[in-house]
Amino acid sequence: MLEVVLFYIASAVALLATILAMTRANAIHALIYLIISLLAVAVIFFLIGAPFAAALEIVIYAGAIMVLFVFVIMMLNLGERGDARERQWLQPKIWFGPAILSAVLLAEIVYLMGTVQGPATVGIVTPKAVGLALFGPYVVAVELAAMLLLAGLVGSYHLGRRALERRH
């Protein structure tokens, strides 16, 4: 009973925080709302029986990735002028069309989900089971993910280094 209530609260928080994040003019504010949204999603993960995923969501998503954003925003030093310009860009006429499109997409997906039945969870999937699956049938995917992360590492290093060199 409590879990169900918690789920709806967390969902509401996640949606609200995401909407706010998408509409903020100040990047740092938007980022904080986004972190709140991610934390709320982590709560949902926990509630539907994926505690390991919830922990990863908090540690890696809300922690590591968002911190990267914070660093970059601080490096760019956008300031008040940037906020004003962002506000100017967020005119109703700008998001009216995209909003309709998004609504149509939503309607389509909801219509397609109409047949889905049953509970969200049948029990907790333990980290052990996840680990067995990862290094069992999904080992190739893990290797690929490792390569992808390495590529991301090399790429970001390359891009950031040249930017710094040119600046001096």
Other beta carbons within 10 Å of 47: 19
Closest approach, Cβ 49 to other proteins, in A, equals 5
Phi, psi angle pair for 102, to nearest 5°: -60, -40
Q: What angle do CA 6, 9, 12 make, to 5 degrees?
A: 150
The reply on whether position 79 binds other proteins by CB under 8 A is: no
Other beta carbons within 10 Å of 62: 18
- Residue 28 CB partners (closer than 8 Å, separation 6+): 70, 73
The reply on whether position 84 binds other proteins by CB under 8 A is: no
Choose, by CB under 8 A, the member of 29, 84, 129, 143 that binds other proteins: 129
Is the distance from CB of 43 to CB of 6 less than 8 angstroms? yes
Show contacts with other proteins in window 141-160 (CB under 8 A): 141, 145, 148-149, 151-153, 155-160
Choose, by CB under 8 A, the member of 79, 81, 113, 168 that binds other proteins: 113
Q: Which two tokens stand for residue 16?
A: 């609200």
By C-alpha distance, which of 75, 55, 41 is closest to 126? 55
Choose, by CB under 8 A, the member of 74, 87, 121, 143 that binds other proteins: 121
Closest approach, Cβ 80 to other proteins, in A, equals 15
Choose, by CB under 8 A, the member of 36, 39, 53, 58 that binds other proteins: 53
The reply on whether position 75 binds other proteins by CB under 8 A is: yes
Show contacts with other proteins in window 1-40 (CB under 8 A): 1, 3-4, 7-8, 11, 14-15, 18-19, 21-22, 27, 30-31, 34, 37-38
